[in-house]
Amino acid sequence: MNEHGFDLPSKAQPDVIARRNALADEACQALAQAGIPVYRVGLGGESEGRPGAEVHVDPLADGGVLVEWSTGAELTTAALNIPPGELDPSNLPYAIRHYETVHTCMRAALLGILASARFHVEEADGHTYGTAVHVWGFQP
């Protein structure tokens, strides 16, 4: 427990972070070889509006390497800037439906490409990481 009375997630050891960074570099290389625009982003960092695969290293002990699709700025803005009062969950605007479809399709593509490149991957926990792909390891 910390001074505020709740447990903070533990951080991974430096050697674990180093292995994750190496794995993230290998995943970036595999995605780039497949023709996917890819770049590294610090966890919680901004993508600067660039579309493509964002690769993060989560520093928490139970974290890992995460790959998430970033859509272009125009689609992202159209989907995320709809005033909440105008949202009807039973009839979402086209921009939101399209945005969600793109993320779903690209997650499936990233899973398939990375698995084909011999990475151990799975869909990340949606509550913690949204639509990210979790990369656990590599089989040389």
Question: Over the stretch 83-132, which tens digit does the pLDDT of each residue have?
Answer: 777 778 888 889 999 999 999 999 999 999 999 999 999 999 888 888 89
Most distant CA atoms of the chain, gap in Å: 51
Query: How far, in Å, CA of 136 to CA of 123, rounded?
Result: 11
- pLDDT bin (cut points 50, 70, 90) of residue 39 is very high
What is the structure's pLDDT at 45?
A: 58
Question: Which tokens sit at 120?
Answer: 């151990």
133 pLDDT band, cuts 50/70/90, is very high
Would you state the pLDDT for residue 46?
Answer: 61
The domain ranges of the chain are 14-138
What pLDDT does residue 1 have?
Answer: 44
Name the band, by pLDDT with cuts 50, 70 and 90, for residue 71: very high
Q: Is the pLDDT of residue 138 over 70?
A: yes
Residue 107 neighbours by CB under 8 Å, 6+ apart: 69, 123, 131, 132, 133
Q: Which tens digits make up the pLDDT trace of 6-31?
A: 666 789 999 999 999 999 999 999 99
DSSP assignment of the chain equals: --TTSSPPPPBPPHHHHHHHHHHHHHHHHHHHHTT--EEE--TT---TT--EEEEEE--BTT--EEEEEE--HHHHHHHH-S-GGG--TTS--HHHHHHHHHHHHHHHHHHHHHHHTTEEEEEPPHHHHTTPEEEEEE--
Q: Supply the pTM of this predicted model.
A: 0.85
Least trusted range by pLDDT, from 50-54, 81-85, 107-111, 135-139: 81-85
pLDDT band at 5 (very low <50, low <70, confident <90, very high): low
Say which residues have a Cβ less than 8 Å from residue 130's Cβ, sequence separation at least 6. Answer: 68, 124
